[in-house]
A and B are shown apart, each in its own frame.
Chain A
Amino acid sequence: MERRWGMTIDLDRCTGCQACVVACHAENNLPVSGPVEAAKGRAVHWIRVDRYYEGTFPDVKVKYMPVMCQHCDDAPCEPVCPVYATYHNAEGLNVQVYNRCVGTFYCANNCPYTVRYFNWFEPEWPEPLQLHHNPDVAVRPGGVMEKCTFCIQRIKRTKQDAAQEGRPVVDGDVQPACVQSCPAEAMTFGDLNDPNSKVSRLAESGRATRLLEELGTKPKVIYLQRGK
């Protein structure tokens, strides 16, 4: 059976520490935009932590929500791309082919989650960050769109390693950088097609919700939070 990669994020556990954001930057060679461009809204963070405030001052509670590409089963970004730069792969991932992208911005405009990021300039890293690049991940040129890949390079590496060692890929083998780095262990990654995987069981929980579920995009990121 084909795999269907998915993730759960437990909002009751998330502390908003942003470790996932940093880990993603390091893993995926995200360019560093600098303070000026970041202030303009040009920073690239494949995963961001949205903040929601409840109550009125001084009785305020902050809720954090890490948001990345939701890898929708019915992704609005996919049909609008005129050059097939974004499409659905066999394992349900919404993948971005940088070389095909001509930069129409259409996918980003049609993403209800606003999780697509554009390379406004050629990517840059302040010294010595240019030395830390992950060799498994392509550096994207200026003028193309990019977004969370669920660390597809780790998925591929895990499958290759398993094949070489002659063993199957089991639940928990693949961990995207954000999941691995979460100190609160709020994130779980795995195969949604495998009913016994941890992520499948969590997705069945009564606390499971999906972001902007009413749009019918069928996201594969599932948020867990207790009801009011």
Chain B
Amino acid sequence: MATTPELLPYGRIREDLFRPLSGVSRNYVLATVVAFVIGAAGLVAWGHQLRSGMGVTGLRRPVFWGFYLVNFVFWIGISHAGTLISAILRLTDAAWRKPVTRAAEAITVFALMIGAMFPIIHLGRGWLFYWLFPYPNGRMLWPNFRSPLLWDVTAITTYLTGSVIYLYLPLIPDLAQLAEHRTLWRRTLYRTLSLGWTGSDREWHALERAMKLMAGMILAVAVSVHTVVAWDFAMTVAPMWHSTIFGPYFVTGAIFSGIAALIVVLAALRKILHLEFYLTRHHFNNLAKLLLLMSLLWFYFTMAENLTVWYGNDPGEMAVFAARTRARYAPYFWTMVLLNFVVPLVLLGIRRLRTIRTATIASACVLVGMWLERYLIIVPTLANPRLASASSTYTPSWVELAITAATFAAMVMLYMVFSKLFPIIAVWEFKPHPLEEE
């Protein structure tokens, strides 16, 4: 690569990356308002559901989990963009990671916040969600630690706490640089959040150590989180849920969709914030190769899962398998295979076709495909229980659709606000080493 941001003078980099923080364009306002309206519509829908009951959803016996759980798994999957990718790149000291990590870590935090809402939204009595927390309560009762849902609560709160710290730590030096900002409220915000960072040797060492430590720990937590999400399904006796490979299968799918989300977000940032010089073909090329690798891995798992079921020919499982591949859900299934495997393989596997644009297109396809994958895992199994007399179908209601749309709007809104408040690329990482400075 001929041009890398490292070759630019540090002053220019600072200017480029701090510029998006000031000034609000008309498009920004417009996008925020649209996102806010969609988000508000979702809140109204949720209010309606809390008031009237879960009957306003499309759920019914035996399909007790629908769009909400699909969204839950999807967003927790997206959250694996950040932390996992940035932690792997940090630990392996990949030099190209610098402009990518913060954007990725921010996705993690917001996707987790959104994903963690769904277990609450899907509850029959959502206002009692805190009964799942282990605290000394009036009922003199601990929650049931044998329940995978409690493992979920534990894993996700740990992950959210960890990734907020992981996002925050490398922000501190940038916040300190911004502490002299012109506007008063920004000055106060940055000064408070920078925790009195002065940039001394001791502070740098402490930060470096803390980040290394967090990168290692967050890696383990991230893997465990999606494994536990998979176990919500795998621990049951339901046909095609009760599968030993679900843990790694879900982790693979999560990283897969996470990288796709990261590529889409980076492409948008590049275009909107004019970061062409910072987010180059080089970055997209590397991420696209990673995406291709995950696509192959995902296909391998999907094949292993479905082939063994088909060959085993267990009647309970075959009912689900047939519904997925040959009957009601077949169009979704084959679309999923197309979007998650064929499209990335062609667009990213053939080097001539691998550009920023095709990487973005393939990533958008993967996001849709991975959402479908979760739908195909959750709904057909529930709709085809072991006693065929109870079989049913599921169509989401407007409430579920509105809440689903609202979460995407919330993601856009949170990300836009974040990129206005904090530099979306870590500026200090481009700072020349003091010894190289003349």
Chain A residues in the interface with B (C-beta under 8 A):
37, 40-42, 48, 50-52, 67, 76, 79-84, 100-106, 108-110, 112-114, 116-122, 141-145, 211-212, 215
A79 near B146 with CB under 8 A, answer yes
A112 near B237 with CB under 8 A, answer yes
B27 contacts chain A at the CB level, 8 A cutoff: no
B124 near A112 with CB under 8 A, answer no
Q: A110-B237, A120-B54 are in contact. Are A40 and B64 (CB under 8 A)?
A: no
Partner of B55, one of A51, A100, A120: A120
**Closest 9 A/B residue pairs (Cβ):** A103-B124, A120-B55, A143-B124, A105-B64, A114-B390, A41-B60, A143-B125, A121-B53, A82-B147
Chain B residues with Cβ below 8 Å from A42 are 55, 60-61
Stretch at the interface among B136-144, B172-180, B301-309, B347-355: B136-144
Q: Count B interface residues, CB 8 Å.
A: 42
A80 near B147 with CB under 8 A, answer yes
A143 near B53 with CB under 8 A, answer yes
Chain A residues with Cβ below 8 Å from B235 are 80
Chain B residues with Cβ below 8 Å from A104 are 119, 122-124, 149
Chain A residues with Cβ below 8 Å from B146 are 79-80
B147 near A101 with CB under 8 A, answer no
Partner of A113, one of B123, B143, B150, B387: B387
Q: A41-B61, A50-B389, A108-B62 are in contact. Are A102 and B128 (CB under 8 A)?
A: yes
Chain B residues with Cβ below 8 Å from A143 are 53-54, 123-125
Q: A41-B392, A80-B149, A82-B144 are in contact. Are A102 and B237 (CB under 8 A)?
A: no
A67 near B387 with CB under 8 A, answer yes
Grouping DSSP codes into helix (H, G, I), strand (E, B) and loop, the B interface class, with mixed when no group exceeds half, is loop
B132 contacts chain A at the CB level, 8 A cutoff: yes
Q: List 30 A-B contacts (CB under 8 A).
A: A41-B60, A41-B62, A48-B389, A79-B144, A80-B236, A81-B144, A82-B144, A82-B147, A82-B149, A83-B144, A101-B124, A103-B124, A105-B64, A106-B147, A108-B61, A109-B62, A109-B64, A109-B238, A109-B382, A112-B237, A112-B238, A112-B386, A114-B62, A114-B385, A118-B124, A119-B124, A121-B55, A122-B53, A142-B53, A144-B125
Chain B residues in the interface with A (C-beta under 8 A):
52-55, 59-62, 64-65, 119, 122-126, 128-129, 131-132, 139, 141, 143-144, 146-150, 153, 232, 235-238, 382, 385-387, 389-390, 392
B53 near A114 with CB under 8 A, answer no
Closest to A79 in B: B146
Give chain B nearest CB distance to A76 CB in angstroms.
5
Chain B residues with Cβ below 8 Å from A103 are 54, 123-126
Report how far A112 CA is from B150 CA in the complex, Å: 22
- Known contacts A80-B146, A144-B125; 19 additional CB pairs below 8 A are A41-B60, A42-B55, A83-B131, A83-B141, A102-B123, A102-B125, A102-B132, A103-B123, A105-B65, A105-B124, A108-B64, A112-B237, A112-B387, A119-B124, A120-B53, A120-B54, A120-B59, A120-B60, A212-B387
Chain A residues with Cβ below 8 Å from B232 are 106
Report how far A118 CA is from B150 CA in the complex, Å: 21
Chain B residues with Cβ below 8 Å from A215 are 237
Chain A residues with Cβ below 8 Å from B389 are 48, 50-52, 67
Closest to B381 in A: A109
Closest to B386 in A: A112
Chain A residues with Cβ below 8 Å from B149 are 80, 82, 104, 106
Report how far A84 CA is from B126 CA in the complex, Å: 17
Chain B residues with Cβ below 8 Å from A141 are 125
Report how far A103 CA is from B65 CA in the complex, Å: 11
